[in-house]
Structure 1
Amino acid sequence: MSDTKNTSRSRGRPRRFDADEGVATAQQLFHARGYDAVSVADMTEALGINPPSFYAAFGSKAGLYARVLDRYAATGAVPLADLLRPDQPVAECLAAVLEAAARQYVADPVATGCLVVEGTRCDDPGARDAACAAQAHAEAVIRAFIAARHPEAADRMTDFVSSTMSGLSAKARNGLDADRLLAIARMAGRAVAQELSGKAG
């Protein structure tokens, strides 16, 4: 006896492609391999769609990457808004940012480092510009936080924190483990505290 209910379901329309799920899958691919190493063919295979559907959903590989960067900012990046607290000393908050980066950059052994930082070095100009803009936004958040209490130190401390985070990302991509990354972050945190010592906040 045939199962008419199951037969009917099998003849129905296929499940509609979920673009948000596609962005999540693309984020994993870009983070693990780097923007340049992921082709549109890789994407369509991973997403289970054909090229026309890919372009209809995302416009281009760069368009998909821009959406990935937005998703990463909301779900995967170091949570600056939570760590840069106006009721806490600036040095402690910056140290917390560095330690969070050290932990987060090796949290997924397949997708190490920072998606944004690594994207700033990709070959595609449009993708590189998008990643650089995301990095500049994060730096602006850090700079504004420091400037509220240490305006004279805001630029150099932002440069130091951003450079340290870039270094942590590169070392994570090269296989440095969490303990060694944390040791670097804590050393940098002590340098921040020393630089800001004797200043209010």
Structure 2
Amino acid sequence: MTTNMPRPRGRPRRFDPEQAVATAQRLFHARGYDAVTVADLTEALGINPPSFYAAFGSKAVLYARTLSRYTGTEGIPLADILRPGCSVAEALSAVLEESARRYCANPAAAGCLVIEGARCNDPDARNAARALTAAAEDTIRSFIAATHPEVAGRLTDYVVTMMIGLSTMAREGHALDRLLATARLASPGIAQALRA
């Protein structure tokens, strides 16, 4: 017996949106937001520009989605490292060492996607990245302030500055051993700041 099922209208989707975000993340991370064009994205995703805009709205919106994915999969797990009751000095040192490891994990896309994105030219994309960096700063500051409120601001600035430097060095091709050595040099400074 044959049944005549109606065919779905329109063309079937040629891409998985989540896979598209992962592909875009790799492009943005490897080249930087400014260097990736919509043409690059449509080619990598196998779609045409109208389909791209229908699916994502804009390059900046897609970038914001890649940032969200990145923080959940490859970003520094601050909540796991900065747990209440942990030694502040040891936890902050662990953040820097984990930053070095993650920033070097993929030589084709070194550094931190969020930190590097905070310097891009597109104001919407830049603001999306800066919102995430501000949230990370708040997490670090709150962790320090719980036991050392008098140095929370200064020490947060120091740790974030170190993270930015590690990301930049990774982008420049510095090897993991070099980044870890740099991160470890910060430990005595962190301990001294906490004693002040």
1:143 corresponds to which letter in structure 2? R
Structure 1 residue 143 corresponds to structure 2 residue 141? yes
Equivalent residues in 2 for 1:100-119 (5 A)?
100-119=98-117
The percentage of aligned residue pairs carrying the same residue is 66
Find 2:27's aligned residue among 29, 32, 49. 29
Q: 1:91 corresponds to which residue?
A: 89
Q: Distance in 2 between matches of 1:143 and 1:21?
A: 34
Write the letter of the residue equivalent to 1:105.
Answer: Y
Please report how far the alpha carbon of residue 85 of structure 1 lies from its aligned counterpart in structure 2 after TM superposition.
1.4
Cα drift, residue 130 of structure 1: 1.1
Q: Distance in 2 between matches of 1:151 and 1:110?
A: 39
Are residue 191 (structure 1) and residue 183 (structure 2) matched?
Answer: no
Root-mean-square deviation (CA, aligned residues, Å) is 1.2
Of 13-22 and 157-166, deviating more is 13-22
Q: Is the 8 A contact 1:98 1:189 kept in 2?
A: no
Q: Shift in Å at residue 15 of structure 1? A: 5.7
Trace 1:1-201 onto structure 2 (pairs within 5 A): 16-197=14-195
User: Conserved in 2, the CA contact under 8 Å of 1:112 and 1:172?
Assistant: yes
Q: Distance in 1 between matches of 2:15 and 2:50?
A: 13
Distance in 2 separating the partners of 1:189 and 1:72: 27
Helix, strand or coil at the partner of 2:34: helix
Q: Distance in 2 between matches of 1:16 and 1:177?
A: 39
1:15 to 1:125, Cα distance in 2 relative to 1, 3 A: closer
Contact (CA 8 Å) 1:80, 1:97: kept in 2 or not?
A: yes
Give distance in 1, aligned partners of 2:57 and 2:50: 10
Alpha-carbon contact 2:14-2:47 (below 8 Å) kept: no
SS in 1 for 2:109: coil
Take 1:187 and 1:99, find their aligned partners in 2: how far apart are those partners?
10
Classify the secondary structure of the residue corresponding to 1:110: helix
- Rounded to whole Å, the distance in 2 between the matches of 1:18 and 1:142 is 35
Gaps (5+ residues) in structure 1? 1-12
The 2-side partners of 1:14 and 1:151 are apart by 56
Structure-2 change in CA distance of 1:144 and 1:38 (3 Å): same
Per-residue deviation, 1:104: 0.6
Contact kept? 1:99, 1:186, Cα under 8 Å: yes
Moved more, 139-148 or 13-22: 13-22
What's the CA shift for 1:87? 2.2
In 2, Cα distance between equivalents of 1:62 and 1:14? 25
Task: Encode CA deviations 1:44-74: one digit per residue, 9 max, x unaligned.
Answer: 0001111111111100000101101111111
Could you say which residue in structure 2 is the equivalent of 1:7? none
How far residue 111 of structure 1 moved from its aligned partner, in angstroms, is: 0.3
